[in-house]
Structure 1
Amino acid sequence: MAVGTKLFFDMMHDPPQKVMLFGDACSHVTAPIALSSKYWNIWQLSYADTNPTLSDRDNYPNFFRVVPSDSDYNMARLQILRHYNWTKVGTVFQDASKGSSRYAYAHGKLTQLLDTASIERHTESFSSDPKTAIGNLKKKDVRIIIGNFDAQMAREVFCVAYEEQMFGHKYVWIIPGDYPEEWWRHSPPCKLSHLEQVLQGHFGTDVLTLSTSEQVTVSGLTAAQYEAKYNNIRGQAYSKYHGYAYDGIWAVVLAIHSIVKQNGGNYKLDDFRNKRLPQTLNETNFEGVTGKVLFKDGDRVGSLVITQYQDARMLKVGEYNAHTDTLVLDTENDVIWDGKGPPRDRSIQEYLLYRVDITIYATLCTVAGLGVVLASTFLAINIHFRRHRRLHGISPLIFSQPVIPYFASNDVSHDDSGSPRDKNWLMPWDSLTDSIRHFGDMPSRWMPRECRKMVRRIIAHNRIPISTLVRTN
């Protein structure tokens, strides 16, 4: 970073005078230069830096880029959700504890997009250990998970996902697709076989290296013809951003040419240090090898590629066109699923009402009702002849025992529809058994005192058995 900034200062000091900056590719170098360029009032165009924080026009007013940023992945992700009718998602991102806020910034844009689209979301973040965040998503029954984190933390996240069993036919992961080649093989914190098992079927979003259109570009070549020329001269060197560097040079040339043409062939340095150059860049519209080149507030409005992990490799399965806001699935590589098709975005809960056969319920209620009538009759006789010598020792409460639980159960054993509930429909049967038990005790209760003493049946006055109270409750 320090070396790049010093070289920038030296370049601006030494002749000839500079009209515009082109580069850089690394955000550690691009960001400080973009912060400094505004003091020279010079405009900068990057061909490979996707850091979304550079879209902040307050801090980087002179910055343009010809490559889509990480925030642009969000629109492609939203189209994936809409395509498969997923309306509930979980989002997890790496916070700025390591000094970079690019993932938190992109996630903030994502949440705004999801809220606008009325998609239910559950958000978690982590700094160094994703275990708690992933566990919380599982508790919330999240099936579709969108992640924003670097390649190193991606290995940590998916190892935790294996421990939590958050993979297979129930889950879909959508993460950045701009990681290094075979990033999962670089020092994984768990077994590689476990990591590959979790990664199977996940989606990635990345910039489109070259346009798949056969349309002739501004250079007079199609994207395929340009690629053939590039491969002939590049040797062993390769960058997936080569097409954006090529289109970036064309954007600079066309912008400068437009200003010179407007001045009738005459120009001076101030013509490129005022608002005319950024206005010209924002009006750029030409066909490049990476697709149609357009800018909006300094950011490229471009196309993205959708990839899927299939059998230990990432395959292109679709393209997202930002100009038309459409998702087009690939015809060569089909999207694969662990199950019969795309998973649901949530558990389906069904509430079933179990009803007791009305004949059984009516029979029990009738028999129990007869028991209550019989008990009530004995209760009336007991009260009327309470001074009789043989009934003096029997409390009227004894005959009320089978009556109390029946009337208590009769109120709670029905739902609002009038049908008995499955948990309470046997309560009249409890009342019936109470009646039988008490009526079975009648002979002993009507025995002379001498007989009761002989069989040691002691009846306590004014005391209701605890079992009856529990059943009533």
Structure 2
Amino acid sequence: MWYCTFLFVYNYFISLTISKQIPLIGLFTQDKYDTNYSASTIIEYAVNRLRTIETIQTELDIQHDEQDIPCDMAIGTKMVFDMLHRKPRPLAIFSGSCHTVASAIAETAGIFDMTIIIYSETSSLFTAREKYPSLIRTVPGDSQHNIARKLLLRKYNWRRFGILYQYERQYTMVIDNNMSDALAPVTRFNDLLQDESDWENALSRGISFNDLDETQGNRTRNSLKDAFDELRKNNIRIILGNFNSTMAVRIFCEAFRYNLYGSRFQWIIVGYYEPKWWLNNPGPCNTSEILHALNGTLQTRVAKLGYNTRKRTMADLTLDQFKFDLTTFKSTNYFVGYAFDAILTLTSAFEKLNSCPNEFHIDSIWHQSCWRHELIDIIKNIDIEGVTGRIRFNNGDRIGEIVIEQILVYHSHKSTNVDIAKLFVAIPTNQSKYILLPAGNERNITWHGHGPPNDRIKRIERNQRISVLTYTIIASISGFGIFLAIGFFVFNIIFRTHRFIRMSSPQINNLIIAGCILSYTSVLLMGIDSTLLGERNSESAMNFICAARVWTLSIGFTISFGAIFSKTWRVHTIFTTVNASKRAIKDYRLFIFVGILFALDFIVLTSWQIIDPLKIFRHTSQIQTKDEDIVILWSYEECLSKRRSIWMTIQSIYKGVLMVVGSRFAWATRNVHINALNDSTYVGMSLYNVVLLSITTAVVGYFLRDQHERSYILTSIFILLCVTITLCLVFVPKVLEVAKDPSSSAKPQRAVLLKPKAKLSDDQGHEKEKPILSNAQEHDKEKLLIQIKGLTNQNEILRLNAKKCDELITKLLSAITDTHDKPYQYEIIMPLSTNIIDETMHTRESDWLLDDENQLRK
């Protein structure tokens, strides 16, 4: 047994004597968050562990001060220069310092072409190889967080996102000389997504610390307000953050103000390594408000220790053993594991440089490339196992594990607790790709809602088409209307010689029928869309249909309404002017009037078609559902032109004037009843019908233009009602009259103007009873009988005069409808006063009827 002990000790000392001691510079800054931590502790622990490995012949001699230096760039740079002149001269620099010191000494090492290995700086600033050519980092850089972010976005199908980044050097570092205007965090992440086409970076917005200075014109609120206004405007739900902890406090304060947190939003930020960083709150919000907005935020950080706990490191140490040993250090420094792995990396690299001379007391050795360029090349190709996972490098940057955590805030009556829950770990594979694995603690993401938020408002696209059933029903009604109009046309042709039809200007009635048929056709055209025509050549066909809709409806209205208007005008002209000398108003004058309206319509429509033709366009209307994350997008087709409103206004003006004047004529002749010209009443009613329904159709079409099918249904109903009622008012009385008198043998009736009869009433509105003569009035009976006889004679005279008026009216009507008769002068001798009967007792017969009573006997 003594022999075995002696042999072990002998071999141990022999290994020490033949081991290769490598002189290095050790430069470490104080950890302001962990005063118990000292770099010398982990260095001694790592070196001692490696001494126990018999196969390792290299020992690192790290020259450093007993106490870590302050985070001062000047002090750090001076110490490097001082150590460079020590004997033996160091071959590399081993550092765990703050950002400013690390940047200074890394740049200095590049000047002296010395290898520098850093274990505590994750800033993307150090990826600039032209500035730091000899830098090696055993901790993954911030740019690798983007890989974990991509895996997280893909896991929860978050394809649309926005980025808020801090506009400072380490966050906006230039990637290379060819991309001088590219922002490193943003561009790298976008480049990472180029392999898939369905990613959408909806917003990239930078904010600088200058904008956080409240004394400079309140630039903070303006800058943050603009950024958050854009987030809200673009409806961004998934927000990626690249900023430091100070900026994070202000941003989450603004998120609280804008209510951009909770179940509908998810923040994903680059995590921070300062404990309780949210307490550093110089902003306008209190800590409770910041934690309220921060609750549920996901963050990515480098893994503190490796994922695989079973593998042994180069120091013959498992992860569980390392965790146990850490408890004796009483240190909470986040990068202890990376410091340990840095020593493993350097030891492994120097082990592979056995061919290099080791007379380190000779200065010439320090200048040999064996200890300079070859060392860097070997480190870049190292592949060993460490306590933070597999140690590999990509151009000097560590390929390491990234952990995804969630910040959870728990409120109680007395305190508020913040928990950092580890959820996933992004682990690099052999193919330099990453996979996302559970962190091992079986914890899931805590959602504020029922599940992960949607990355956007879910838009359900639906085509707003006219259903086949709707179009079939309306088309059937329109077809029936067309056949009805054709039936009336045939009736008008067959019975055109019938006296009752001939007196009502059948040719003008045919114009009404033609206009109605065109209006029915326009209803059929309104229901046609591209789905009925098919996708192929549907655009050109729909452009033609757009024009056809306007032409058929406009010309149909002009012809039918123009004919009705002209007939109303003729009745008004004949029966509203007393004792006027007139020429006969024949049908050709009405045709000329309708032709003028048609020509005006034709000019307007032709100009519209040539200058600004109607074309089919697809529009989308948005309807918000009860669910805030779901919106229905209705897509519909509409015929539009650049100046459609102007053309529509032109048509509306002259047709509106026509309807107003026509309404006035119809109202002025409302009491005229001409049974021979049976249109006198019904034509006026038709005119009212057209005016009212046309206005209603225009209003309905305007307010329901976004609801395609509903607009089509209501517009079609009003057009069909208008056209059908007009046809029936004009032709149904004629059909009934012809049915009663097929041979046209009935005696024509004279024209009368009706006036409402006034009842004899007392002051209380009750009808008075007919007075009864008393006995005292018997002596007046004889006188009363004489008066009755006189009235009887006058009644006979009036009857004779009425007969002569009938003959005159018949002759006049024949002259109006007969286009072959020569025009002649005539005079209306019938007075329009309806009080003629009441005034008979005070008017002489010779004034306007017959000379004397004797003519009655003749």
With the shorter chain as reference, the TM-score category is: 0.7 to 0.9
| Pairwise CA distance, 1:152 | 2.0
Aligned CA distance change for structure 1 residues 99 and 65 (closer, same or farther; 3 Å):
closer
1:116 aligns with 2:195: yes
- Matching residue of 1:470: none
Within the candidate set 175, 179, 184, 1:105 is matched to 184
Aligned mates of 1:100, 1:89 — CA distance in 2: 18
Which is helix-richer, 1 or 2?
2
Describe the shift of the 1:50–1:364 C-alpha distance in structure 2 as closer, same or farther (beyond 3 A): closer
The alpha-carbon deviation at position 112 of structure 1 amounts to 0.8
Per-residue deviation, 1:14 = 5.1
Amino acid at match of 2:423: V
Matched, 1:315 2:421: yes
Shift, 1:79, TM fit: 1.6
Deviation of residue 375 (structure 1)? 4.1
Residue 415 of structure 1 corresponds to which residue in structure 2?
Answer: 529
Alignment of 1:319-358 (within 5 A): 319-324=425-430, 325-332=434-441, 333-353=443-463
Q: Whose RCO is larger (CA < 8 A, sep 6+)?
A: 1
Pair 258,356 (structure 1): closer, same or farther in 2 beyond 3 Å: closer
Q: Which runs of 5+ in 2 are unaligned?
A: 1-72, 175-182, 212-222, 410-417, 534-707, 735-747, 757-858
Task: Provide the residue aligned with 1:186 in structure 2.
Answer: 280
CA distance in 2, matches of 1:148, 1:309: 16
Counterparts of 2:428 and 2:752 in 1: how far apart (Å)?
A: 99
Structure 2 residue 150 is matched with structure 1 residue 74: no
Q: In structure 2, do the counterparts of structure 1 residues 201 and 383 end up closer, same or farther at CA, with 3 Å as the change threshold?
A: farther
Check whether the contact 2:478–2:523 (CA below 8 A) recurs between aligned residues: no
> SS in structure 2 opposite 1:216?
coil
CA contact (8 A) 2:249 2:290 kept: yes
1:269 and 2:379 aligned: no
- Paired AA for residue 435 in structure 1: V
User: Which residue in the other structure is 1:371 paired with?
Assistant: 481
Q: Taking structure 1 as reference, are residues 448 and 66 closer, same or farther at Cα in structure 2, changes over 3 Å only?
A: farther
**Matched residue of 1:423: which SS?**
helix
Letter in 2 for 1:202: T
The letter for the 2-side match of 1:410 is L
Shift of 1:393: 11
Count the aligned residue pairs. 451
Written as runs of structure 1 = structure 2, the 5 A alignment for 1:50-89 is: 50-89=122-161
CA offsets, 1:344-387, max 9 Å, x none? Answer: 33333223456777666545443443334444565688899799
SS of the residue aligned with 1:85? coil
Indicate how the Cα distance of structure 1 residues 448 and 211 shifts in structure 2: closer, same or farther if over 3 A, else same: farther
Q: What are the Cα deviations for residues 431-452 of structure 1, in whole angstroms up to 9, with x where unaligned?
A: 2211244246539999999668
Q: Secondary structure at the match of 2:321?
A: helix
Query: Kindly tell me: are residues 438 and 181 of structure 1, through their superposed partners in 2, closer, same or farther at Cα, counting changes over 3 Å?
Result: same
Aligned identity (percent) is 27
SS of equivalent to 1:351: strand
**Structure 1 CA distance for aligned equivalents of residues 159 and 274 of structure 2:** 31
Q: Which amino acid aligns with 2:266?
A: V
Q: Which amino acid aligns with 2:439?
A: D
User: In structure 1, what is the equivalent of residue 329 of structure 2?
Assistant: 233
Q: 1:415 to 1:192 in 2, by over 3 A?
A: farther
TM-score, with structure 1 as normaliser = 0.82
Question: For residues 413-444 of structure 1, what are the alpha-carbon distances to aligned partners after superposition, in whole Å with 9 as ceiling and x for unaligned?
Answer: 13344499443134432222112442465399
User: What amino acid is the match of 1:124?
Assistant: S
| TM, length-normalised to structure 2 | 0.47
Structure 1 residues 82 and 449: CA distance shift in structure 2, 3 A: farther
What is the CA–CA distance in structure 2 between the aligned matches of 1:86 and 1:100, rounded to whole Å? Answer: 23
> Which residue identity does 1:123 align to in structure 2?
L
Query: Counterparts of 2:719 and 2:139 in 1: how far apart (Å)?
Result: 79
Do the aligned partners of 1:319 and 1:328 also contact (CA within 8 Å) in 2? yes
- CA apart distance, 1:67: 0.7
Q: Contact 2:478–2:521 at 8 Å: present in 1 too?
A: no
User: Offset at 1:36?
Assistant: 2.4
Equivalent of 1:166 in 260, 264, 276: 260
Matched with 2:377 is 279
Report the equivalent of 1:462: none
The DSSP-based 3-state class of the residue aligned with 2:153 is helix
Alignment partner, residue 719 of structure 2: 431
**Alpha-carbon separation, structure 1, partners of 2:291 and 2:478:** 65
Superposed CA deviations along residues 131-175 of structure 1, whole A, max 9, x for unmatched, are: 333433443343332221111222233333334443333332211
- Corresponding position of 1:405: 519
Q: What residue number does 1:133 align with?
A: 227
Distance 1:273 1:196, change over 3 A: same
Residues 149-158 or 290-299, more deviating: 149-158
The residue aligned with 1:209 is 304
CA pair 233-329 structure 1, distance change in 2 beyond 3 A: closer
- Superposition deviation, residue 71 in structure 1: 0.6
Deviates more, 1:369-378 or 1:22-31: 369-378
Which residue number in structure 2 is paired with residue 442 of structure 1? Answer: 730
Q: Which amino acid aligns with 1:329?
A: P
Deviations 1:196-253 (A, max 9, x none): 333232211111112241333222332332233333234xx53111111122123223
Q: Any stretches of 5+ residues in structure 1 without a counterpart?
A: 456-473
Q: Is the contact made by 2:171 and 2:242 (CA closer than 8 Å) also made in structure 1? A: no
Per mean C-alpha deviation after superposition, the further-off stretch among 141-150 and 435-444 is 435-444
Whether the 8 Å CA contact 2:422–2:439 is kept in 1: the answer is: yes
SS at match of 2:193: helix
TM-fit CA distance, 1:279: 1.3
AA at the equivalent of 1:425: I
Q: Which has the larger radius of gyration?
A: 2
1:192–1:407 CA distance, 2 compared to 1 (3 A): farther
Distance in 1 separating the partners of 2:194 and 2:473: 56
Q: CA deviation at 1:177?
A: 1.4
Pick closer, same or farther for the CA change 1:122–1:378 going to 2, 3 Å. Answer: same
> In structure 1, what residue type is equivalent to 2:157?
N
